[in-house]
Amino acid sequence: MAESKGTLYLCATPIGNLEDLTPRALRMLREADIIAAEDTRHTRQLMTHFDLHGHLISYHEHNKEKQGPFLIERLLAGENIALVSDAGFPGIADPGELLVQQAIAENIAVVPVPGANAALSGLVASGLPSSTFFFGGFLPKSKKNRRLQLLEWKNVPGTVIFYEAPHRIKEVLQDILAAWGDRPIVLARELTKVHEDFFRGNVTEALEHLLEKEPRGEFVIILGAGEKQSEALPAGNPLDKVRMLMAQGIEKKESLVAVAKEYKIPKRELYNKLISEEKEEGEHK
Ligand code: SAM
């Protein structure tokens, strides 16, 4: 019997400039039985602009558990689905990843239809080394988890890319400065749009720039690698670092684990030092 399953097409859509929709993506959107969109309002605007009249269904972070099995059922029944994210390449920092995994588990063909992507657009124009890079997506929203995540990624040996919302960008840069120190940074803002701009400097300068000019629009944060990160051990007293993390509300145990990893010393050794210093401080009070 001939293969009757449908195909899941991952269609990149513009991140600002409508000319960035490729002719192939346009054809996929025109021909698909279903267009599964992260933000139906946004995609409807795209459809109106390109005179598309397909069957639009929402698929986003908050309905993916319910909609995923429904979309897989349609694919198994032979329908073709074009998945689009709010903007850019579906599957990069959006729920597309899960649907792709579910489709592969059912032996459904998954076909990328490439085009615009914010992370890569920012990286290639940043001027920072672009042959080795690490994409961190969105950092955790809670300050504590963000700092722990940053400590874990401190020694990534390449350029690092993050996505961030404008209202959180200053506090994220402050956390990056605290966890990684000053580094080269590029803030790529409003890519492909009329007000596209690139701030190039170091993290301290970027913070000053954002204090002068309230951040607006969409940002990609691109950070240069720290010097000789893979070998260099951090400077300063590890116990001070543990205390700093604890003062920021991170549990003693988590602080010890993070700092021991960063300084490449056994956790037990660090714990014993902390306890004996705490004892000494207690005696001197
Ligand atoms: N899947 C998309 C892609 O491949 O580009 C990214 C989706 S993610 C939910 C949205 C984030 O991408 C924004 O918060 C922002 O950090 C970044 N972004 C999207 N469009 C952008 C633009 N035009 N300029 C700068 N950053 C952008």
Residue 165 near ligand 1, beta carbon < 6 Å: yes
Show Cβ contacts of residue 76 under 8 Å, excluding neighbours closer than 6 positions: 5, 6, 106, 108
Domain extent at residue 47: 7-116
User: What is the pLDDT averaged over residues 223-234?
Assistant: 66
User: Which CATH number characterizes residue 34's domain?
Assistant: 3.40.1010.10
What does residue 76 show for φ and ψ, rounded to 5 degrees?
A: -65, -30
Whether 264 is in a domain gets the answer: yes
Cβ(164) to ligand 1 under 6 A?
A: yes
117 lines ligand 1 (CB under 6 A): yes
Our answer on whether the CB atom of 139 is closer than 6 Å to any ligand 1 atom is: no
Closest atom of ligand 1 relative to the 190 alpha carbon: 24
**How many angstroms does the Cα of residue 163 sit away from the middle of ligand 1?**
7
- Whether residue 162 has its Cβ less than 6 Å from ligand 1: no
* CATH code of the domain in which 188 resides: 3.30.950.10
Query: Separation of 93 CA from ligand 1 center, angstroms?
Result: 8
CA of 123 to the centre of ligand 1 (A): 12
Q: Is 87 in the pocket of ligand 1 (CB under 6 A)?
A: yes
Same domain, 171 and 219: yes
Among 79, 92, 5, which residue's Cα sits nearest to residue 36? 79
Residue nearest to atom 7 of ligand 1 (CA): 93
Residues 19 and 42 in one domain: yes
Query: Is pLDDT above 70 for 232?
Result: no
Same domain assignment for residues 22 and 102? yes
Q: What pLDDT digit, counting tens, does each position of 16-53 carry?
A: 999 999 999 999 999 999 999 999 999 999 999 999 99
C-beta 16 within 6 A of ligand 1 = yes
Q: Look at the chain and count its residues.
A: 285
Query: What is the Cα–Cα distance from 174 to 63, expressed in whole angstroms?
Result: 34
If one counts the domains in the chain, the total is 3
Residue 231 has pLDDT above 70, yes or no: no
For 87-139, the pLDDT digits (tens) are 999 999 988 999 999 999 999 999 999 999 999 999 999 999 999 999 999 99
- The residue from 86, 116, 146 where one domain ends is 116
- Please give the model's pTM, rounded to 2 decimal places: 0.82
Instruction: Identify whether 228 is part of a domain.
Output: no
What per-residue confidence (pLDDT) applies to 239?
A: 86
pLDDT at 153 (0 to 100)? 94
Across residues 6-10, what is the average pLDDT? 98
Strand order in the sheet with 197-202: 133-138, 159-164, 219-223, 184-189, 197-202
- Residue ending a domain, among 99, 116, 133, is 116
Q: Is the CB of 94 under 6 A from ligand 1?
A: yes
pLDDT of residue 230: 43
